[in-house]
Every structure is written in C-alpha cells, then in structure tokens.
Amino acid sequence: MTVPGVRWVVSGLVLFVAFAVLGVLVARQPPALDLAVADSLRGQENRPLGHVAGALTNVLGPVLPYLLGAVLVVVALRRRDHTGLCVRLGVVLVVCRLTSVLGKLVFERQRPRVYPETSYPSGHVVSVASTAFVAVLLCVWLAPRLVRWAVGAAVAATVLGAACRIVLGVHWVTDTVGAVLAVTGVGLVTAAAAGLLPPPPGGRNLAE
C-alpha cells in the first residue's frame, strides 16, 4: 500500500476508534446535549413536523443502499470494463452498512422513547451515509466533474436523514454522530484496502 493509502487507513481507524469511544461514553447515560434535544422535541412525532420527518425517513433510510446496489449492477452489466470497480464499491457499501448491526449488538443503547431495537448507531443514518460515501467514490472514479456536487448532496442527505430521526424521537443526537463516524471510518479503511483510495491521479475519468 502506498503512503497516501496508509494515510487513508490511519484516518479511518481514528474515526472508527472515535465511534467506539463515543459508544462507550453514551451507552449507559445520555449526555446533556442528547437529553436537551430529546426533551425539546418530545411529542413531535405526532405533529406536522413529525409527519414530514416520517415521510422523509421512509426515503432516507435502509432502501438507499439497495438502490445504489442496483445502480452498481446496472453499471457493471452495461460497462464490463467497470465490473471490477463496481464489485469493489459494492463490498465497501456492504461493509459500511454492517456497522449498524455491529454497533447495536455491542452497545445495546436504549432509545429516547419506546421503539424496537437498540439505538447506537442510527441504522437509518448509517444507510444514508453508506450510500453517500460510495456514491461519492463512484463519482471520483467515473465522473470527477460531479464530485463536488456529490459531496454536497451526500452531506445534505446525511444531515437531513439524521434530523428526521431526531425529530421523530427514535434516536439521540449522538446516535447520528456515531453513525457518521462509523461509516466514514470503516469506509476509508475498506476503500483503501480495495484500492479505491487514494483516488485516480488528477481525477482521471475511467470512462474515457
């Protein structure tokens, strides 16, 4: 692995450790920020803001990785020279998505209100962040001119998805922060190991 590749791995490991440390710190007792935000939004799930958040979270959630997976399959079938790239991106997508399963098994954090499953990290935010991370990588390799737009859209979608889960009262703020830390950390390590990072020299477009 090249020196830039090692740097991506180290950065990813630092973020994943931050995810784990945060999980330990908040698993038993929510910090003041979590409690304050949860108290201020209590009951919103039954009000107009909650109805909007509920509609948005149906889109900004677990369905997104499946949609992106379908896109990767289509790209691989239409452009056989991109099959290897799509397979590697698919692996990154799956590994990032599994951080939600791992975190919930390890930390067993209770939610702000009665709701199925444990809380840390937010599975919906993990889904959005995983999809966003891989979508940006896809643009890096196949459409460099769209990378800036893709990053902006990725950040906006992730923040909106997190806000929806918080408004609905099914996640603490730190659940959503942990989701982003986990996905970004695991994503960087997995992408580097798969040869997707560092990006192509000079933003070279592989479609050319």
CATH of the domain at 61: 1.20.144
Neighbour-count burial of 55, counting CB atoms closer than 10 A to its CB (0-12 exposed, 13-18 middle, 19+ buried)? exposed
Q: Is residue 207 part of a domain?
A: no
Task: Residue count of the chain, please give it.
Answer: 208
Low-confidence ranges of the chain (pLDDT < 70): 1, 3-4, 202-208
Pair 180, 129: CB distance under 8 Å = yes
Q: Is residue 35 part of a domain?
A: yes
Integer Cα distance of 189 and 196 in angstroms: 10
Check residue 122 and give its pLDDT. 98
Residue 170 DSSP label: S
Q: Is residue 202 part of a domain?
A: no
Q: Is residue 204 part of a domain?
A: no
* Dihedral angle sign, alpha carbons of residues 68, 72, 78, 79: positive
Neighbours of 61 (CB within 10 A): 20
pTM (2 d.p.)? 0.94
pLDDT tens digit sequence for 158-169: 999 999 999 999
Domain region containing 107: 3-197
Check residue 205 and give its pLDDT. 46
Q: Work out how many domains the chain is built from and give that number.
A: 1
